[in-house]
Amino acid sequence: MSNEMRAKLSAAHIGQKAWNAGRHLSEKHKENLRKLHIGLPSNRSGSKHLPESIVKMSIRKLGKKTTDETKRRMSAAQKEKWRSPDHAAKMIASWRLKPNKKEIKLSAILASMYPGEWKFVGDGKVIIAGKCPDFVNINGQKKIIELFGDYWHQGEDTKVREDLFTPFGFQTLVIWERELKHADSLADKIRRFHDQ
């Protein structure tokens, strides 16, 4: 912030009472603040504290536990938000996604097998049922290819993802990251899916 802007803000607030003027904190509140600031650097050292909004939120939650029912309701609310294509597109666009090395490798395989037929859309270009598929066929087939990372998707049932896109008329092929190491068998798998 420039010195001129600081001076304008200062002048605008002259004569106004501070939000906490005349308020006294209870001993319990003071103790909560003390606990919250343990281990944080002091302003005297020139370091910055946490933003005020985070501090206030942390104070409200200090000593409180989120119940399983509250967690379930919060999860359901977030899932409902993600069903909105606008919300999903906005959130995914904010992540500035780019294809990772494995997606680039799969993209090259698809391009060599079927030039101009598959497009990477894992950067948020396409949202279906709140999910962002990795590749879609752009040659008239309603088909999706998903690349599952061995670490991030471990234990996931690929049928769940396939069933998610089915109501929208899409056939889905899930390729695991480890399958990229076996070019011949992967090519056969892609060919069978593409030609069916």
**Sequence letter at residue 137:** N
What would the pLDDT profile of 155-181 be if each residue is shown by its tens digit? 889 999 999 999 999 999 999 999 999
What's this model's pTM, rounded to 2 decimal places? 0.57
Please report, for residues 4, 22, 38, 57, 67, the alpha-carbon distance to residue 33 in angstroms, rounded to integers and kept in the order given: 34, 18, 9, 12, 24
What are the backbone dihedrals phi and psi of residue 119, each rounded to the nearest 5 degrees, phi first? Answer: -125, 135
What would the pLDDT profile of 70-83 be if each residue is shown by its tens digit? 889 998 998 888 77
Reply yes or no on whether the pLDDT at 3 is more than 80: yes
∠ CA(134), CA(176), CA(146), 5° rounding? 20
∠ CA(68), CA(69), CA(72), 5° rounding? 85
Burial of 34 (0-12, 13-18, 19+ CB in 10 A): exposed
How far is it, in rounded angstroms, from Cα 156 to Cα 174?
Answer: 11
> What's the pLDDT band for 96 if we cut at 50, 70, 90?
low
CA dihedral 162, 164, 168, 173 (to 10 degrees): -20
Whether 134 contacts 177, CB under 8 Å: no
Q: Which domains does the chain have, with CATH numbers?
A: 101-195 (3.40.960.10)
> How crowded is residue 136: how many other Cβ atoms within 10 Å of its Cβ?
21
How far is it, in rounded angstroms, from Cα 170 to Cα 121?
Answer: 15
Pick the most confident of 45-49, 61-65, 130-134, 189-193. 189-193
Pick the most confident of 64-68, 96-100, 123-127, 175-179. 175-179
